[in-house]
Amino acid sequence: MRSFLTHLECTYCKTIFSIEKPLRTCSKCSKVLYPRYDIENAKKEITPAKISTRTPNMWRYFEMLPIINPDNIITLGEGFTPILPINNLGRQLECSNLFIKDEGINPTSSFKARGLSAAVSKAKEFGITKFTIPSAGNAAGALAAYCARGGMKSNIFMPKDTPIANIKEVSIIGSDLTLIDGLINDAGKLSQEKAEKENLFDVSTLKEPYRVEGKKTMGYEIAEQMNWKLPDSIIYPTGGGTGIVGMWKAFDELEQLGWIDSKRPKMFCVQSSGCAPIVKAFLEKTEFAEPWKNAKTIASGLRVPVAIGDYLILDALRSSNGGAVAVEDEDILLETKLIAKLEGMFICPEGGATIKGLKILLDKGQISTDENILLLNTGTGLKYLDIFKD
Ligand SMILES: *Cc1c(COP(=O)(O)O)cnc(C)c1O
Ligand SMILES: [Zn+2]
Distance 282 CA to ligand 1 centre (A): 19
DSSP 8-class letter at 289: -
Task: Out of 54-68, 90-104, 181-195, 267-281, pick the least confident.
Answer: 181-195
Res 277: pLDDT:
98
Q: Report which protein residue has its CA nearest ligand 1's atom 2.
A: 301
245 CA: nearest ligand 1 atom: 7
Distance 100 CA to ligand 1 centre (A): 16
- Tell me the per-residue pLDDT of 56-83, one tens digit each, with 9 for 90 and over: 999 999 999 999 999 999 999 999 999 9
Sheet holding 33-37, edge to edge: 16-17, 5-10, 33-37
Residue 390 has pLDDT above 80, yes or no: no
Res 389: pLDDT:
82
CATH of 83-110+212-387, one of 3.40.1410.10, 3.60.15.10, 1.10.1040.10, 3.40.50.1100: 3.40.50.1100
Residue 366 has pLDDT above 90, yes or no: yes
Ligand showing the shortest atom-to-Cα distance for residue 110: 1
Residue 85 has pLDDT above 90, yes or no: yes
Yes or no: say if 268 and 276 are a contact pair by the CB < 8 Å rule.
Answer: no
Reported as a pLDDT band with limits 50, 70 and 90, residue 175 is very high
Percent of all residues in the chain with a pLDDT value above 90, rounded to a whole number:
98
Judged by DSSP in three states, 323 sits in: strand
CA atoms within 13 A on the CB side of 17: 24
Mean pLDDT of 82-104: 98
Q: Report which protein residue has its CA nearest ligand 1's atom 10.
A: 301
Res 166: pLDDT:
96
Judged by DSSP in three states, 241 sits in: coil
- Could you tell me whether strands 97-102 and 233-237 are parallel, antiparallel, or unpaired per DSSP bridges? unpaired
DSSP 8-class letter at 299: -
Distance 14 CA to ligand 1 centre (A): 27
Ligand showing the shortest atom-to-Cα distance for residue 25: 2
Q: Say what the alpha-carbon torsion angle 236, 237, 238, 244 is, to the nearest 10 degrees.
A: -20
Q: Report which protein residue has its CA nearest ligand 1's atom 6.
A: 241
- Tell me the per-residue pLDDT of 34-52, one tens digit each, with 9 for 90 and over: 999 999 999 999 999 999 9
115 CA: nearest ligand 1 atom: 7
Give the chain's mean pLDDT. Answer: 97
- Tell me the per-residue pLDDT of 325-340, one tens digit each, with 9 for 90 and over: 999 999 999 999 999 9
The residues lining ligand 1, judged by C-beta closer than 6 Å to any ligand atom, are 110, 112, 138, 205, 237-243, 301, 348, 350, 378-379
- Name the nearest CA neighbour of 375 among 63, 129, 84, 49: 84
Res 171: pLDDT:
96
Yes or no: say if 361 and 325 are a contact pair by the CB < 8 Å rule.
Answer: yes
Q: Report which protein residue has its CA nearest ligand 1's atom 1.
A: 301
Measure the CA–CA gap between 140 and 173, rounded to whole angstroms: 11
Residue 161 has pLDDT above 80, yes or no: yes
Q: Report which protein residue has its CA nearest ligand 1's atom 4.
A: 239
The ranges assigned to domains in the chain are: 83-110+212-387
Yes or no: say if 244 and 64 are a contact pair by the CB < 8 Å rule.
Answer: no
